């Protein structure tokens, strides 16, 4: 659930993260120091981009959005707000970062930032193909190039460079590359027979390095990179493999942990080699694993089952609609909203760890510190 709880699923839909603020021009008018924010990710962060493409990976129907303002299903893969939404509200952003593909994402709103995240999207172009339409990371960066040109047309090259240079870029990708690509049951077995896990991880890291470097070359200096969470513990996986309440698919989590180790190395390497850059590494795996393991401490009663469900001991056999489903009464007690994605209550906990956490959660600084950097 980007790529936290990793809106990850063996069925391409996905995951994802993060931070909002006022634009350069708004800051000039209001005296605030909040930057613009540009978000890249999967269904964990998708604010509704997939509403505007032909895809099976959509969430623009009830009961999704049941706890969103006015109880409107916006295309977010959760019952309420995503981590990006909550982050923005916490730091003082008055609304929600708009989806790039929405027709009304134009004018001054673009100067506050844009969200390009897309359910089923991944680092690799082929990831999520079973779902049809989706925006892979290269496509999302292509769209940011369009946004950059638009900002230049409104502000001029010098002010546009200032806005982009001060902006926070959040990238949360990778979950779908495992669950909707390398680890897809049955269909991916030939690939796994030919490509060992370490080789696949290196392929992802090599591609990711090029993509993050491209963002830097386009003017991004402050880049938050969020790792992949414990995808082996989502309700879908637990039901498909008939795992017990506390059981997880260890092989999936082990591969993800190897990817996260290499991603942490990559972030450090880019920070050293790209002059003037400030890369921040968000450890979603550590945070979500802690919430899952110590759920009572965070106020949850149900750590392993979906609030919105139809079939399966953990509610993980089918997605949350469209069509008839059951919804739990107290959604604040569930870590998972559906078979793949976290509830708003879980998103709140995750967000606060990224906002105010120590260097074990987010390194070398948390989001509040980054806003002041």
Question: How confident is the model over 71-120, as pLDDT tens digits?
Answer: 999 999 999 999 999 999 999 988 999 999 999 999 999 999 999 999 99
Nearest 5 degrees, angle CA 40-CA 118-CA 79?
105
CA 129 to chain centre: 18
> Element (H or E) spanning 169, and its range?
strand 168-172
Statement: residue 32 has pLDDT above 70:
no
What's the confidence (pLDDT) of residue 3?
Answer: 39
Number of domains in the chain: 1
155 is a domain residue:
yes
Whether 11 is in a domain gets the answer no
| Residue 311, domain member (yes or no) | no
Over residues 303-353, the pLDDT tens digits come to 999 999 999 999 999 899 998 899 999 999 999 999 999 999 999 999 999
Which residues, other chains included, contact 98 with Cβ-Cβ below 8 Å and sequence gap of 6+? Answer: 47, 104, 105, 109, 114, 115
Residue 151: count other Cβ atoms within 10 Å of its Cβ. Answer: 25
Is residue 297 domain-resident? no
Q: What is the pLDDT of residue 9?
A: 34
With a cut of 90, say whether residue 22 has pLDDT above it.
no
Q: What b/e string do you get for 285-310 counting C-beta neighbours within 10 Å, with b at 16 or more? A: bbbbbbbbeebeeeebebbbbbbbbb
Specify the 3-state DSSP secondary structure of 98: coil
In a domain, 268, yes or no: yes
Query: What sign does the CA torsion over 48, 54, 56, 62 have?
Result: positive
**Which residues are tagged catalytic?**
43, 338, 341
Q: What is the pLDDT of residue 18?
A: 33
pLDDT digits over 349-372, tens only?
Answer: 999 999 999 999 999 999 999 999
The kind and range of the H/E element at 302 are strand 302-306
Angle, vertex CA 47, rays to CA 103 and CA 182, nearest 5: 120
Digit-coded pLDDT (tens) for 158-215: 999 999 999 999 999 999 999 999 998 888 888 988 999 999 999 999 999 999 999 9
**Owning domain of residue 57:** 24-287+356-372
170 part of a folded domain: yes
Enumerate the H helices of 50-177 as residue ranges: 83-91, 137-155, 157-166, 175-177
Q: Which residue has the tokens 């502000």?
A: 155
In a domain, 81, yes or no: yes
Asked whether residue 157 is domain-assigned, the answer is: yes
Spatial neighbors of 94 by CB under 8 A, at least 6 apart, are none
Read off the CATH number of the domain in which 124 is found.
3.40.50
């Amino acid at each position: 659930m980007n790529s936290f709880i990793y809106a990850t699923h063996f069925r391409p839909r996905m995951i994802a993260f993060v931070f909002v603020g006022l634009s350069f021009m708004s800051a000039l008018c209001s005296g605030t120091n909040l930057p613009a924010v540009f978000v890249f990710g999967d269904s964990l962060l998708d604010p509704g981009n997939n509403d505007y493409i032909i895809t099976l990976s959509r969430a623009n129907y009830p009961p999704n959005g049941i706890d969103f303002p006015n109880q409107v299903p916006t295309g977010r893969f959760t019952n309420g707000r995503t981590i990006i939404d909550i982050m923005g509200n916490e730091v003082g952003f008055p609304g929600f970062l708009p989806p790039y593909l929405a027709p009304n994402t134009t004018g001054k709103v673009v100067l506050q930032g844009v969200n390009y995240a897309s359910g089923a999207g991944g680092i690799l172009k082929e990831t999520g193909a079973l779902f049809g339409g989706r925006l892979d990371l290269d496509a999302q960066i292509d769209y940011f190039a369009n946004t950059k040109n638009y900002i230049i047309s409104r502000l001029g090259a010098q002010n546009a460079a200032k806005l982009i240079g001060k902006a926070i870029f959040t990238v949360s990708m990778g979950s779908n590359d495992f669950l909707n690509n390398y680890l897809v049951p049955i269909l991916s077995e030939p690939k796994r027979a030919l490509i060992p896990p370490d080789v696949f991880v290196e392929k992802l890291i090599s591609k990711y390095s090029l993509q993050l470097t491209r963002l830097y070359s386009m003017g991004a200096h402050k880049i938050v990179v969020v790792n992949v969470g414990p995808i082996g513990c989502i309700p879908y996986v637990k039901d498909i493999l008939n795992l017990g309440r506390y059981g997880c698919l260890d092989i999936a989590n082990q591969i993800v942990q190897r990817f996260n180790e290499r991603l942490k190395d990559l972030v450090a390497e880019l920070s050293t080699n790209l002059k003037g850059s400030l890369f921040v590494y968000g450890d979603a795996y550590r945070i979500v694993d802690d919430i899952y393991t110590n759920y009572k401490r965070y106020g949850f009663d149900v750590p392993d089952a979906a609030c919105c469900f139809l079939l399966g001991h953990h509610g993980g056999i089918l997605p949350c609609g469209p069509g008839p489903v059951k919804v739990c009464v107290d959604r604040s007690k569930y870590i998972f909203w559906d078979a793949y994605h976290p509830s708003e209550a879980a998103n709140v906990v995750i967000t606060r760890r990224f906002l105010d956490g120590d260097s074990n959660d987010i390194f070398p600084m948390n989001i509040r510190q980054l806003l002041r950097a």
